[in-house]
Amino acid sequence: MGQGRQQISRDDRAEEHAAPLREAWYYACPSARLKPGQMRAKVMLGEPLLIGRDADGSVFALRDICPHRGMPLSAGRFDAGQIECCYHGWRFDTAGRCTLIPALVAGQSFPLQRVRLQSYPTHEVQGNIWVFFGTDPAAAPPVPVLEGLADATPRLVETVAFAAAIDHAVVGLMDPAHGPFVHRAWWWRSRRSIHAKAKAFAPAPWGFAMTRHAPSANSRGYRLLGGSPETEIVFRLPAVRIEHIRSGRHAVCNLTAITPIDNQTSEINHCIYWTAPWLSALKPLLRPYVRAFLHQDRRIMERQRQGLRWNPPLMLIDDADTQAKWYYRLKREYRRARAESRPFENPIEPRTLRWRS
Ligand code: FES
Ligand SMILES: [Fe+2]
């Protein structure tokens, strides 16, 4: 009995650790997919959200459940100012306040101000919309702003849903050793091109960075840029990867943001920015490559899920899986720091990692 109870509390703890971090901004959608007067339903962190843009262009996010009888408000109407529930016509403003209950007759007093939808902070920058989950956005890792791109918007965004919980999605996307096995393609690299690599890492705000270096000689795709490209890859909490490739006066930037949809599904948004105008001409060629790449990851994680169903113990080896270990460490420290109301202390030390890929 006692042992059974202990087992349960250990499982609870594992579940709690695997849960997505709260007190964090998560990627919701590209700005371009939300025009003024539009609203869309989206589940994030297991919560039903309604994300909309009013007539002035401001973005808002509300709980997508009518407090009257549970109807998704996204099934109703939005006139770019107010949302009307499709069931009994209750109306709400974009801050979530109830403004009208049509069933009330004159003289019936009902405290409308007591009816309120939960509202989530939103932030829109560089062509992307982010939503905050928690109570104190000021103390959270800020929404990433890509250096040197001012108010650019992504030239290409690819959105893919993965059948993987957030941790497996993050670890899978950062994993340096799966490339030659999962992303085999004539235009990228092959299994035969595996070689030993050594990359220098350093702590970075809310995460770590693979410091500026020349990309692998076996990454043929980078050669398109010309010159002698240099790349820097940053990971930061809760689940953002930024790759900056610079070559001469041009830059290409990949922002990959992972959003937990529920505890079985994650959504990857891969946003590509570039400054070289001629790259835009290549866009129709680029998109299928990006898509193929992400779907290779999607398929491998779907297969992995078949194995994970049996809840096997997992291994993280040095150095190939050290970034995964760092991710777990960062997540743990962030959670502890918030629980203890103290500043986050980055647990990462500078280090060179070596692996073959
Ligand atoms: S359920 Fe929304 S108004 Fe009744
Ligand atoms: Fe991958």
328 shares a domain with 183: yes
Mean pLDDT of 57-73: 98
Q: How far is the CA of 63 from the centre of ligand 1 (A)?
A: 14
Are residues 242 and 264 both part of a single domain? yes
Asked if pLDDT for residue 4 goes beyond 60, the answer is no
Q: What is the pLDDT of residue 218?
A: 46
Give me the number of domains the chain comprises: 2
- Per the CB < 8 A criterion, the answer to whether 241 and 250 are in contact is no
pLDDT given for residue 344 in this prediction: 97
Domain that holds residue 343: 150-356
Residue 1 has pLDDT above 80, yes or no: no
Is pLDDT above 50 for 21? yes
What pLDDT is stored for residue 278 in this prediction? 80
Stretch (H or E) spanning 329? helix 322-339
Question: For residue 119, what pLDDT band results from cuts at 50, 70 and 90?
Answer: very high
268 and 233 in a common domain = yes
Ligand 1 pocket check for 17: Cβ under 6 Å: no
Q: Which of ligand 1's atoms lies nearest the C-alpha of 101? A: 3
CATH number assigned to the domain comprising residue 116: 2.102.10.10
CB of residue 85 inside a 6 A radius of ligand 1: yes
Q: Which ligand is nearest to the CA of 100?
A: 1
Q: Which residues of 34-71 are buried (b: 16+ CB within 10 A; e: fewer)?
A: beeeebbebebbebebbbbbbeeeebbbbbbbbbeeeb
In this structure, are 159 and 279 located in the same domain? Answer: yes
- If pLDDT is split at 50, 70 and 90, which confidence band does 151 have? confident
Whose C-alpha lies nearest to ligand 1, atom 3? 88
Kindly report the CATH number assigned to the domain that includes residue 274: 3.90.380.10
Ligand 1, from 63, 69, 98, 117: best to mutate by most atoms within 8 Å of Cβ?
69
Render pLDDT for 297-328 as a digit per residue (tens, 0 to 9): 999 999 999 999 999 999 999 999 999 999 99
CB 61 within 8 A of CB 122: yes
- Report how far ligand 1's centroid is from the alpha carbon of 71 (Å): 6
Residue 228: the pLDDT is 73
Query: How many Cα neighbours within 13 Å face the side chain of 21?
Result: 30
Q: How far is the CA of 101 from the centre of ligand 2 (A)?
A: 51
Average pLDDT, rounded, for the chain: 91
> How many angstroms separate the alpha carbon of residue 286 from the centre of ligand 2?
17
Q: What are 135-144's pLDDT values in tens digits?
A: 999 999 999 9
Distance, CA of 186 to CA of 70 (rounded, Å): 52
pLDDT band at 234 (very low <50, low <70, confident <90, very high): very high
Neighbours of 287 (CB within 10 A): 13
pTM above 0.75, yes or no: yes
CA 291 to centroid of ligand 2, rounded, Å: 12
One domain, residues 168 and 282: yes
User: Do both 162 and 268 map to the same domain?
Assistant: yes
Q: How much of the chain, in percent, has pLDDT values that exceed 90?
A: 76
For residues 175-197, give the mean pLDDT.
80
Measured from the CB, is residue 90 less than 6 Å from ligand 1? Answer: yes
Say whether pLDDT at 147 is over 90: no
Residues 126 and 175 in one domain: no
Q: Is the pLDDT of residue 6 over 60?
A: no
Q: What integer is the mean pLDDT of 328-344? A: 96
